[in-house]
Structure formats: structure tokens, C-alpha cells
Structure 1
Amino acid sequence: MMLGTTLFRSTTARFVLLAFVLQFLVTGGVLVFVQEASQRALAAEQREAVGELRDELTAAWRGSGDEGLRQLIRARLEITHGAVAVILYAGPDGTPIAGNLDAWPTVIPPGTRWRTIDLYRVGSERPERMGVTAVSLPDGKRLLAGHVIESSLRLVRVNEEAGLGALVAALALTLLGALVIGRVLSSRIEAITQTAGAVGDGALAARVPVGGSGDAFDRLGLSINAMLERIEGLVSQLRMITDGLAHDLRSPVTRMKVLIERAAAETQDDNALAALERVAQEADTLLRMLSTALQISRAEAGIGRDRFSEIEVATLLEDLVEIYGPLAEDNGFVLDASSPPGLHATLHREFISQALGNLIENALKYAQGGSSIALSAREDGSQIILTVADDGPGIPPERRAEALRRFGRLDPSRHLAGSGLGLSLVEAAARLHGGDIRLGDNAPGLRVDLWISGSSHM
């Protein structure tokens, strides 16, 4: 049911169905028209032939009387050898006088213009389908003229069978043509979709392939490529400005911190020392923000992939527990880790460690009231999911997107120290590894899943 609904909602599938229906209707309509036209033409030809025979016999009676009509009947039956001609010259009561029928058909009154009927001819062992017409002569006698149309009916059946076969073949060819058209359209659209996906993953240099045909898809591709070039240029300029600004600010902030430390060492005033310590803390916070912003910018630019290496995931998590375990205990939490044995991944160890460390620090800072923080890893196809889960208050579903926004901080956390870049750094790390970050409900608490590509077992 779900598959059928998905296919029906697919624009390509609807287009293929529409093309198939239209082509089938056109082909079927042409075949039906040809068949009907052939049958009408054949029926008209039969009526015309029977009408000519009737007129010829009637003219013979008028010109030569009874004897002349008999002679013409014998001559016509001898010429055709009784193959198709049906003639009966009968008296007023229907008694046969000449012809190749034994009796006048009771269902054919004189004056019948055209009728098809099954009758026995003289010497025939089975009835035959005939098309006949009947007239009443001025002296009261009757004249019936007709043709056997068995062969015409066989031809009609052959035409119907041929039309049905052609319709089936047309159905198959039409479906094949519609599928080919849909496949061509899907491949062109898929190329655009893949380019958009690559750009969404940070590969701003990706472009839509252009075949040079100049069709609508080529024009669309050229327009998208021009837009992507513009976006790439603007993003590159923004990154250069951001990187340059962050890099340039680090030096004066560092000098300011050195001056604060010197001033703190030289002063004896307790109030001044307290003020200088607060300023030093703010300087440290600013330096961390600048360093984090630089890391995020470099990760988004793809810098760092040359430092990927294959590591054992369980060892990575155990190292994090060893580093952050004492800090967790000091804050009243139990930090543990679990991972399938033999699970390996190709990743930037330092960057992933820092991202997971940020998540642990966030849990220690914001999961007040909780008692445990769990690190875990699991495999999902070709991806590994690294999870940090706590049992604190968590984040409401409607505010999780806000928490992922750069410099985004939820209101209850604004009184705590921080820059709002922690989750942004985690997201940048995930994107560098071809994945993403997802916030979920740990029931209770927050679960943060870090999806990365490139899993393997050894």
C-alpha cells in the first residue's frame, strides 16, 4: 500500500503512466478505426455485389421474361460453380422454380433489402452464413439474390485476431517506450539531485553534468551551475573573512590575556585581582570560541580528510571514558561505554574525540538531576552511529533545531558559561565524515546520535 502510494506520488511515475495511457489510446484508437473501417468497407462491398446481382436478375426478367431469367440463373450458377452466389426464383407461394436453394426462407419476406442468415444450399451438408436481399416481381413471383459470406467472416475474424495481436504488441511497445522515456527523465533528474545532495553535504564544487544538447535539461543545468558558482564564490569569501577574522583576533586576545596575567601578578588589590580573573576567564572563553569557529570552518571546507585513519571504535570510547570519567564522578555522574567488538572505522580521531568530548561536557553541564552518561556505538549498514545519552531533563522536540543552530543557546542555559558552538562543532565533524547529527529522546534525557560513514569489521 505504501509502495503504491509512493509510486503514485512520484512525478516521474505519473508522467510514465500518462505517456503510456496516451500512446495506448492513440494506438488502440487507430487499430480499432482501421478494423471498423475494414469491416464497413467489406460489408458495403458485399451489399453492392448482392445488389448488382439482384438488379441483373430483375433486368433479365423484365427483358426476357421467365425463361430469360431461368437461363441467366443457370449461367450465373455455372460461372461461379456455386461458390458464392445464392439465387432462388420462386412462385408466389415460395415454391422453388430455379436456383440453388431448396425452399424459400420463411424469415425472408419479399422486399427485404439486406439480411444475413444461415441457410443450406442445394448439395451442401452444413448451413452457411449468407447475405441476401429479396424482391417481389410484378407477376407475384419472388426473387432472392445473395452471396455466401463465410470467407468474409473468416477474414473479419482474422482481422480481429490480427488487431488484437497488434494491440498487445502495441501495449508492450508503448509500455517499453514510456519506461524508456521515464528512465531518461529520471537519469537527468537524478544527476541534478545528486549534485544538490553533494552541495548540501558541503561539496560546493559539484556541478550538474551538461550534455551540450541545448534542451531544457541543459538550460536548467547551466542555470543551476551558474547559481552554484555564485554560491561557492560567496561562501568562499565568507569563509575567508571568517577564518581571517578569527585568526587575526586570536593574536590580540592572546596578548590581552598575557597583559591580564602580568597585571594580576603585579597587583596586590584583592578586588582588582578578582576583576582581572574574571576578565581572564572571558578572554579564555573568547579564545575557545575563535578556535572552535576556525575548526568548524575548516571542517566545512573539507580540511582534515588527509588525517583520516582506521581505528577501533571500542578503544576510542574507552579512552574517552578514561579522560572524562573522573570529571563525571566529580559532577555526580557515572560515565560508561559500550561497543561491538571488532568494529573499526576510518575517521579523524582527534576531531571525533573532541566532538564526543563536547557532548559529554554538555551532558555534565545541562543534564542536572541525572546520574549517568552512556557512550555507545552501533552499526547501521555502511554507517556507524556514535551515541552520547544522558538521563537529565533533555531538550523538547520543538526546540532541538534551535539547539543545533550556530551560537544557538536555549534560554535556561544562558546563565552557564558557553559559546553555543558545541553542537555546531559536532555537526561539522559529522559532515566531514559524510554523516550528520540527530537529537532524540532517551526517555528520560537527551540522546545525541553522531552518524558517520565508513564502518568495517576485523
Structure 2
Amino acid sequence: MPRRRLRSLGRIAIAFALALSATTALAGLGVYLALLDAIDHQVDLRLQGEARELLEGGAGVPEIVRRIARERTERESADIGFLLRDPQGRVIAGNITPAHSLPIGVSTVTGDAAIPGLSRGRAWVKRLPGGDTLALVAESEPIDQHDHKRGRILAIGFGAVMTLLLIGTFALIRAIRVNIAAIGGTAEAIIDGDLRARVPVEQPGSVFGGLAVTFNRMLDRIGELMAGMRSISNDIAHDLRTPLARLHGRLAALADAPEAAPVREELGEAVAESEEILAIFAAILRITEIEGGERRAGFERLDLAALAAEVGEGLELLVTENGRTFAAPAPAAAVPVDGDPRLLTQLIVNLIENAVTHTPPGTTIRLNVRRDGDTALLCVADDGPGIPLAERERALRRFGRLDASRHTRGHGLGLPLALAIARLHHGTLALEDAGPGLRVALRLALAG
């Protein structure tokens, strides 16, 4: 099973915080154990030094007893416990009586040894040549509950370090999030048509500032390229429209001439084709203008339901004259949106004309507008042949004519123009299954 990847800054922060906490805890435990071992080692060295003084020169039991008595009164060794036993375990000399026997060698002594004043210490025990046993015990915690206090001090210290590291981590995560949000906001503005949007640069010399500068330079270059392409397409369209318009006028005049009677039908078809070419150039220029985003300056508050009812009333005759049935129920309530009324009118006209063009006679075309949650929903549906799911994306592309409509008059720019208008209004345009037929759904945000 593949491992789950960290896909968000929040998860990265949590994972890093957990790893940091575990590392800090292990480091704290390591320091605590190392400190405890260092203290025990120092106590062991002290006990071994005291033992050498007691046994110096191969002293016998009487001399060891005398030396123990002397050491018990010395300031430097007054806190050490001494115990000398005979081979039968009877006490010969000393100032401690442990509750249990101490093992030979060096070991840790705890409170269960019942040595007064000792909570934790170290013991040094050696069996002497005559069978006697000499034991020395020293406190490794001169202060009561020193081990707990030492652990608390370490916990506080490492806790403070961990807190600072966590604060720094989350501050870094927040800085990354803020800068990503700035880049994302700029990208969204550009998607919405504001090609002048740029990422704010607060500190050009910083890592994020340098990234923002590079990102803005990229946007400048993309803007230059798009402006150049738009200028070329506009220039071509404008330059070609003039001779095409003259050609259309001459063909129309020629078709009306009496001497053109034998070829009047062919001239009429040529006039229609020239009109179609002019319509294509007009549509291209219109889409380019809309995608530029400048038309947002003409936005106003309007009732989408009332606008659709007015457009539908004007197009009803067109639909019925072409052998289709038109159904446009009266809106039950106002559906306020912010938009350009002329562009939205053109969108509705395009959708209805598209339905008339690509459905057979007898088809019913429906226009409906209503509120759907916090959005305005405008639908143009028909019960015609529809568009297969695999071809709907192509239908929304420029000149994306489907195989079924190759022999139908048109240029494949009606739906792309409607899509450009929807995007200009921060809305969506979707092709859906009407069961049977096609439903084109426009969603716009309701005006506040």
C-alpha cells in the first residue's frame, strides 16, 4: 500500500512538530541519563579513593576499625557511610546498617536500603582477604528529591527550547502560507482577466521577495507575448474585415444587376458565404475583447430573470418559425446579479440560436432562470440529440465543431463566446445531459 504523502502545509507543520517534540524528548532523556551517570561516576571515584585510604598499606581489621572511626569525624568524609562485617555478617565497625546486604562491587542504593538520610546513593563493597566485608556508601542526591527537581529543570529547559522551535516553525509555515496566498491571489486575478495583477514585493532581497520578483517578470513576459498575439490577431481581423466588406458589397451589387440573372443563385451563395466570413471575424474580435476583461467597467445590478424573459420573448418567433417549440415560464422571483446586460443578452441569444441550429424540427427548447442556493442558474435545454459526454469539451473550444454539425451552417464560435462571457462574469458554463437532449447551464453569483 503506498505511503500517504504530506499534501498541505498544516500536515507538514504537524509532522514536523511531532518529530521535533520526539527529538527534543529523546535529547532531554539523553542529557538526564548522561548527567545522572556523570554524578554516579564522580561518587564512585570518591568512594574508591576513601577505600584506598582505609586499606592503605595492607591494614588489618583493627587498623581499619581505627581508620573508620577517624574518617567518621573528618569533614570531607563525614557524609560517607562505613560498614565493616566479619565473615558471619556481624558488624565490626561502621555507622550504617542497611536493611539488606549490598552486592560486591559498585552498585546503586535506593531508599529501600533503609539507610537514614539516603534517598539515592552509590555503594562500594569489597571482600577482604580474611573474609571480612568492607562497604562504603555515599549520597548521590545531597538534596531531597534532587532527582525529580533535576528532571523538572531539564524538562523546563528543553520545553522552552522546543517552544521556541515550534514558534519559529509555525512562523515559517505562516510566512510560506502568506506568500503562497499572494501568488495564488495574483494567479486568480489573472485567470479572471486582470492581466496587470502582480505579486506584491515587500523585500526584494529575501527568498520570497526574489521569488515574487521572478514570478512578476514571468507575468510581464507572458503579458507581452499575449499582447503581441492579441495585436496580431486584431490587426489581421481588422485588416481583413475591410476588403471582405468591400467584396461583400460588390457581390451584393452584382447579384442585383439585371445582367447577372443567369448566375444570381451562385452570387447569392457567395454573398451568404462572405457574410459568414464577416461574422466569424466579428465573433473572434468579440471573444478577444471579452477575454481581455475591459468590459467589466460596464457592469451594473440587473435582474437576470427579467432579462432572460425579455430576450426569450423576442426570440420566440425565431424558434417557432424554424419548426421548434419554445417554452419560457415566467420567473417566480427576481434573480439579481452584477453584469453587463448587453453581453448577457448576447449569451442567451447565442444559446437559443445554437439550440435551434443543432436540433431537428419538432424539438422543444426551454429557457429557465431561478435561484439555486447562493447562485443564479440560467438553463437553455432541448430534447434533441444532445452532445456525447466525450465531445462536450471540444464543443466549447473555438471552431470546435462536432462531426454531426459539419454540414450545418455556422462557425463553431457560439458556445466559446458564451463561455467567454460567463468567465468575464466570474461564472461557469457547463454542458449537461437533459435526458434526452442537451442542457447548457450558466451559474453566476447572486448580487449581494
Q: What TM-score does the superposition give when structure 1 sets the normalisation length?
A: 0.85
1:294 match: 285
With over 3 angstroms needed to count, the CA separation of the structure-2 counterparts of 1:301 and 1:112, relative to structure 1, is closer
1:387 match: 379
- Given the alignment of the two structures, is residue 58 of structure 1 paired with residue 50 of structure 2, yes or no? no
**More moved, 263-272 vs 227-236:** 263-272
Q: Which residue of 414, 424, 434 corresponds with 2:416?
A: 424
1:112 match: 105
Deviation at 1:413, TM superposition (A): 0.5
Within 1, Cα distance between the matches of 2:245 and 2:76? Answer: 122
Q: Deviations over 1:79-117 (max 9, x none)?
A: 569974221122221211221234794x336x4343535
| RMSD, matched Cα | 3.0
Deviation at 1:339, TM superposition (A): 4.8
Within 1, Cα distance between the matches of 2:151 and 2:316? Answer: 85
CA contact (8 A) 1:60 1:69 kept: no
Q: Which residue of 28, 31, 34 corresponds with 1:34?
A: 31
2:366 match: 373
With over 3 angstroms needed to count, the CA separation of the structure-2 counterparts of 1:94 and 1:437, relative to structure 1, is same
Gaps of 5+ in 1: none
Q: What SS does the corresponding residue of 2:294 show, helix, strand or coil? A: coil
Q: Which residue of 299, 309, 315 corresponds with 1:324?
A: 315
2:400 match: 408
Letter in 1 for 2:36: Q
With over 3 angstroms needed to count, the CA separation of the structure-2 counterparts of 1:15 and 1:101, relative to structure 1, is closer
Work out the number of aligned pairs and report it. 442
Gaps of 5+ in 2: none
**More moved, 422-431 vs 246-255:** 246-255
Q: What SS does the corresponding residue of 1:400 show, helix, strand or coil? A: helix
Q: What SS does the corresponding residue of 1:114 show, helix, strand or coil? A: strand
Deviation at 1:129, TM superposition (A): 4.4
With over 3 angstroms needed to count, the CA separation of the structure-2 counterparts of 1:306 and 1:144, relative to structure 1, is closer
Q: Deviations over 1:366-424 (max 9, x none)?
A: 1336323232243453x533322222222122111211111111111011111111012
Deviation at 1:352, TM superposition (A): 0.7
Q: What TM-score does the superposition give when structure 2 sets the normalisation length?
A: 0.87
Deviation at 1:163, TM superposition (A): 3.2
- Given the alignment of the two structures, is residue 10 of structure 1 paired with residue 4 of structure 2, yes or no? no
Deviation at 1:342, TM superposition (A): 3.2
Within 2, Cα distance between the matches of 1:337 and 1:162? Answer: 78
With over 3 angstroms needed to count, the CA separation of the structure-2 counterparts of 1:66 and 1:394, relative to structure 1, is same
1:98 match: 93
2:427 match: 435
CA contact (8 A) 1:390 1:442 kept: yes
Within 1, Cα distance between the matches of 2:235 and 2:98? Answer: 114
CA contact (8 A) 2:118 2:139 kept: no
Letter in 2 for 1:98: A
1:46-445 aligned at under 5 Å gives the runs: 46-59=43-56, 62=59, 65-79=60-74, 84-102=79-97, 105=100, 107-108=101-102, 111-116=104-109, 118-121=112-115, 124=116, 129-149=120-140, 151=142, 154-267=145-258, 270-330=261-321, 331-337=323-329, 339=331, 341-368=333-360, 370-381=363-374, 383-445=375-437
Letter in 2 for 1:119: A
CA contact (8 A) 2:395 2:402 kept: yes
Deviation at 1:165, TM superposition (A): 4.2
Deviation at 1:128, TM superposition (A): 5.1
Deviation at 1:426, TM superposition (A): 0.7
Letter in 1 for 2:193: G
Within 1, Cα distance between the matches of 2:142 and 2:278? Answer: 100
CA contact (8 A) 1:201 1:434 kept: yes
